[in-house]
Structure 1
Amino acid sequence: MQRFTILALSLTAALATAPALAATSEGIEAINAPRSAAQQAADRTALQAIIENSTALYDTLAGELYVQHNNPSRGFIYLMDAARRTQDGRLYARAVEIALQGRAPDAALTAIRSWQSALPDDPNADTYQLQVLLLLERIEETADPLRQALAHASGDKRQTLIHNIPGYYLNVQDHQRALGIVREPLQPYVSQPDTAFVAALAMARMQMLARDFDGSLQMLERSQQATPPQLSLGSLLSNRELPALVAMDLMRAARQEQPDVARRAETLARKLATAPHATREIGLAYAKTLIEIRRHDDALKQLGLVLRKHPDYAMAWMLQGGLQLQEQQWAAAEQSLQQYFRVRKAEDPVPGPREDGNIALSILQANLTVSSDMQANIMMAEIADHKNDPTAAARWLERVQPESARHAAMVQRAETLNSQGKYDLALQQIRALPSDTDEQRHVRHLAEVQLLDRAGRHAEALAVLDASISRTPDNAELLYARGMTHERMDNFPAAEQDLRKVMALRPDSPNAFNALGYTLADRNQRLPEARELISKALALSPDSGAIQDSMGWVEYRLGNLKEARRWLEKAFVAEPQAEVAAHLAEVLWQLGEREQAGKILEEGLVLDRNDTVLLETMQRLGYTPRAATPTAPASSTRP
Structure 2
Amino acid sequence: MKNYLWLIALLTLQLGACTVANHPTDRAPSDNAQPKQAEAEKPAIPSRPFSADSFHDLLVAEFAVRRNQFDVALGHYVHQAHQTRDPGVTARATRLAQYIKAQNAALDMAQLWAELEPDSAEAQYTTATLLAQNKQPLQALEHMERVLNAGGATNFTAIVASSLNMPKLSQQLVASAIDGLISRHPQYGQLYVSRAIMEQSHNKPSQALASVRKGIALDNTDLQAVIIETRLLQQMGRDDEAFVRLEAIQQQYPDNRRLRLQYARLLLKKDLNKAREQFEYLLASTPNEADLLMSLALINTELNDYPQAKQYFKRALATNTRNNEALYYLAQIAEREDLLDEAIARYQAISLGDDYIAASNRMAELYSQQGDDDAALAMLQQRRQQHPELALRFYLLEAELLFNSQHYEQCHALLTEALNLHPEQGNLLYMRSLVSERRNDFALMEQDLRSIITQDPQNVTALNALGYVLANRGVRLEEAFELINQALSLKPNDPAILDSLGWVEFKRGNYARAVTLLEKAYAAFPDPEVASHLGEVLWTLNKQEQAQQIWQQGLEKNPGNPIIESTMQRLLNNSGNSELTTAAPPANSSP
**TM-score with structure 1 length normalisation?**
0.46
User: Larger C-alpha radius of gyration, 1 or 2?
Assistant: 2
**TM-score with structure 2 length normalisation?**
0.49
